[in-house]
């Protein structure tokens, strides 16, 4: 646990952690977050805020495996980069979790809605199998840490109504199932088992470097997703503020790891507040317009702390991070060179780029300001 203390003053209150209902004033939350970020600890008896470690107790579940592609996934498709071996800090150790975990409910696949499990990290170990084990050991005795990049769909509502394993599959209903990358599965189990029993627990993510933001859109409508989120791996809120808005305005949770603003927020500079599900907060100032950074990856120059990390020394002030070009390793579907890639903008008011999409993708209207290339049904079902 990380203890943060600061002087208490009268103001509107904000909950640091929704589960334990611990609340502090807004200024204290921002001040405490800054202290966490810089590694400075201040003591004062008037306020004591604890930021919980994300690590959980071991829980039972099951696991299968599905390959080592390391791209796509319901967190954000190719927009959030590749994560196969040697392609990112995930290094091919990833998982698709069952719909009840991914969506936070047991009502089946959540489709294009926000996924609270997206980006979290888990430690997984094999405990056995119900499969015939003649001639081999199903478990290696090792554990592996994986990052959640995709959903293992629970199936349609019709299948969910029939409570049989035959129709529901491994990921349907209120189950705790991991569809692991083959690389991750082989660390803990024998492929011959196919399906293994596991124990798992949530752990702190060990992302390398700084947190990054991926923007798409304009001041009238935009979406943004965090990338390479250390520690908790996922956010519970994403807010924006500027002189036009006055106070903090919450973005709406969208599909996968994305958050959306669907109102005119006028010109910048903008201040963004990212709140992780363990209570940590990061503040980031964007001096450029949303349009100028659309399609870019922004390195914000900081990241959340992991549960077992020592506090870093205070860092000197640095200028706002500048947009960087997308990694050249992002997969590009076959098609015309002049057409937009999957998940790229293909239409909207004021848009002057390509309005066609590469092969196996189609331009899907979202609103007057935004249309985006999305994989066709055939491409989505190719996994």
Q: What is the pLDDT of residue 273?
A: 97
pTM beyond 0.85: the answer is no
Residue 312, pLDDT > 70, answer: no
User: Residue 133 CB: number of other CB atoms within 10 A?
Assistant: 14
270-276: strand order across its sheet:
249-250, 235-241, 270-276, 281-286
Min mean pLDDT across 26-35, 44-53, 95-104 is at 44-53
Question: Confidence band (pLDDT; 50, 70, 90) for 195?
Answer: very high
Q: What is the pLDDT of residue 129?
A: 94
- Give me the residue label for tokens 């209207």: 365
Parse the chain into domains and list their residue ranges: 2-51, 59-203, 212-309+318-324, 332-383
Question: Confidence band (pLDDT; 50, 70, 90) for 155?
Answer: low
d(CA 1, CA 48): 12
Phi, psi of 83 (to 5 degrees): -140, 25
46-98 residue pLDDT tens? 222 233 445 678 999 999 998 888 777 888 877 777 877 888 889 899 999 99
| CA-angle at 121, arms to 118 and 122, nearest 5° | 120
**Residue 1 burial (CB < 10 Å; 0-12/13-18/19+)?**
exposed
Question: Confidence band (pLDDT; 50, 70, 90) for 153?
Answer: confident
Q: Which DSSP state fits 369?
A: T
User: Is residue 215 within 8 Å of residue 208, measured between CB atoms?
Assistant: no
Min mean pLDDT across 17-26, 100-109, 157-166, 247-256 is at 17-26
CATH topology of domain 59-203: Barwin-like endoglucanases (2.40.40)
d(CA 372, CA 293): 16
Q: What is the pLDDT of residue 311?
A: 44
Question: Confidence band (pLDDT; 50, 70, 90) for 351?
Answer: confident
User: Is residue 303 within 8 Å of residue 230, measured between CB atoms?
Assistant: yes
* Superfamily for domain range 212-309+318-324: Expansin, cellulose-binding-like domain (2.60.40.760)
Higher pLDDT, 231 or 81: 231
Residue 191, pLDDT > 80, answer: yes
Whole-number mean pLDDT of the chain? 75
- Give me the residue label for tokens 């199936």: 155
What's the mean pLDDT in 144-166? 63
**Residue 233 burial (CB < 10 Å; 0-12/13-18/19+)?**
buried
Q: What is the pLDDT of residue 168?
A: 53
What's the mean pLDDT in 194-220? 94
260-286 residue pLDDT tens? 999 999 999 999 999 999 999 999 999
Record the tokens describing residue 76, joined without a space.
């954000």
Residue 185, pLDDT > 60, answer: yes
Tally of CA atoms within 13 A in the half-sphere of 111 that contains its CB: 5
Report helix, strand or coil for 190: coil
Higher pLDDT, 132 or 336: 132
Q: What is the pLDDT of residue 26?
A: 35
Residue 181, pLDDT > 60, answer: yes
Record the tokens describing residue 240, joined without a space.
């924006």
Closest residue by Cα to residue 331 from 84, 67, 74, 120? 84
Phi, psi of 85 (to 5 degrees): -55, 130
User: Is residue 212 within 8 Å of residue 300, measured between CB atoms?
Assistant: yes
Q: What is the pLDDT of residue 56?
A: 72
């Amino acid at each position: 646990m990380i203890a943060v203390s600061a002087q208490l003053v009268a103001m509107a209150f904000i909950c640091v952690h929704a589960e334990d209902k611990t609340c502090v004033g807004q200024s204290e939350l921002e001040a405490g977050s800054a202290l966490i970020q810089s590694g400075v600890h201040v003591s004062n008896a008037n306020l004591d805020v604890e930021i919980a470690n994300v690590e959980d107790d071991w829980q039972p579940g099951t696991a299968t495996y599905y390959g080592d592609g390391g791209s796509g996934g319901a967190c954000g498709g190719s927009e959030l980069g590749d994560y196969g071996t040697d392609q990112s800090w995930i290094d091919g150790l990833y998982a698709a979790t069952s719909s009840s975990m991914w969506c936070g409910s047991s009502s089946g696949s959540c489709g294009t809605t926000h996924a609270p499990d997206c980006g979290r990290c888990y430690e997984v170990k094999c405990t056995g199998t119900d499969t015939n084990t003649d001639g081999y050991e199903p478990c290696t005795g090792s554990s592996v840490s994986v990052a959640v990049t995709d959903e293992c769909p629970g199936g349609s509502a019709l299948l969910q109504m029939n409570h049989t394993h035959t129709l529901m599959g491994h990921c349907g209903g209120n189950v705790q199932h991991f569809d692991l990358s083959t690389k991750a599965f082989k660390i803990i189990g024998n492929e011959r088992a196919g399906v293994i029993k596991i124990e798992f627990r949530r752990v702190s993510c060990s992302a390398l470097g700084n947190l990054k933001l991926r923007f798409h859109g304009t001041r009238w409508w935009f979406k943004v997703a965090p990338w390479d989120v250390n520690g908790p791996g996922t956010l519970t809120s994403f807010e924006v503020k500027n002189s036009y808005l006055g106070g903090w305005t919450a973005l709406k949770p969208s599909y996968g790891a994305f958050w959306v603003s669907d109102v005119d927020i006028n010109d910048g500079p903008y201040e963004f507040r990212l709140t992780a599900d363990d209570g940590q907060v990061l503040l980031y100032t964007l001096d450029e317009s949303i349009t100028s950074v659309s399609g870019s990856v922004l390195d914000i120059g900081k990241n959340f702390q992991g549960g077992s990390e020592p506090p870093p020394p205070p860092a000197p002030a640095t200028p706002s991070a500048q947009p960087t070009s997308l990694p050249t390793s992002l997969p590009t579907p076959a098609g015309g060179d002049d057409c937009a890639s999957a998940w790229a903008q293909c239409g909207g008011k004021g848009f002057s780029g390509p309005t066609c999409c590469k092969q196996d993708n189609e331009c899907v209207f979202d609103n007057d300001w935004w249309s985006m290339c999305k994989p066709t049904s055939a491409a989505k079902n190719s996994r």
